[in-house]
A = this chain, B = another copy of it.
Amino acid sequence: MTQATEEVGVFVDAELYARVQQFYAWHMGLLDDGAPDDWADAFTVDAAFGEPGQANSFLGREAIRASVRARAEKLAEEGVVIRHWFGMTTVDPESDGALRVRNYALTLAVAPGGPPVVRGHAVCHDRLVPDGDSWLIASRHIQPDGSTR
């Protein structure tokens, strides 16, 4: 089950796949709707968050929370709405119950009165660990393709 998706196209069952899809729709919706604290709560206490080249690497939920709060405040001041689309999802279960999840991440920004603008695209690599009926994000590695800032 840990073979790379590149090898054969790993298929997980529909229940797992649908839950992972719903996890991201819920989780990124929290951020986009201005609930950065709830968003941060979905990381493990010792989560690693890394985005190379963006001076944007953090260790631990509280560091992630501080960063996302600052970003949310800046967006609120500017009146900018961000919408994150996560998709093209692949899921590789590990033997310990964790999941390696890869998503394409498309970021759209809408300034006041403006049209939506594609702000960035990245490939997002997460490790999800079970947490009751859901998961916590134990690590997120963002591989940016490009962005407007």
The answer to whether A26 and B121 have CB atoms under 8 Å apart is no
In the complex, which residues of chain B have a beta carbon less than 8 angstroms from the beta carbon of A133? 8, 11
A87 at the B interface (CB under 8 A): yes
- CB of A108 within 8 A of CB of B121, answer yes
Contact B117 A118 (CB under 8 A): yes
**Chain A interface residue count, Cβ-Cβ cutoff 8 angstroms:** 57
In angstroms, Cα B104 to Cα A28, docked, is 11
Which residues of A come within 8 Å of B, CB atoms? 5-6, 8-15, 17-19, 21-30, 33, 35, 38, 81, 83-91, 102, 104, 106, 108, 110-111, 113-121, 133-134, 145-148
Q: Does A18 lie within 8 Å of B14, measured CB to CB?
A: yes
Beta-carbon contact of A11 and B115 below 8 Å:
no
When A30-B6, A90-B25, A145-B116 are in contact, do A85 and B106 touch as well, CB less than 8 Å? yes
Copies of this protein in the complex: 3
Cross-chain contact B26 with A9 (CB below 8 angstroms): yes
- Known contacts: A28-B88, A110-B146. The answer to whether A22 contacts B9 by CB under 8 A is yes
Assess the A115–B110 pair: CB atoms within 8 A: no
- A109–chain B nearest beta-carbon distance, Å: 9
A14 in contact with B14 (CB, 8 Å)? yes
Asked if B9 and A27 make an inter-chain contact with CB atoms under 8 angstroms apart, the answer reads yes
| Complex Cα spacing A115 to B116, Å | 14
| 7 more A-B residue pairs beyond the given contacts A6-B29, A13-B18, with a C-beta to C-beta distance below 8 A | A6-B33, A9-B22, A11-B23, A14-B15, A25-B90, A110-B146, A111-B146
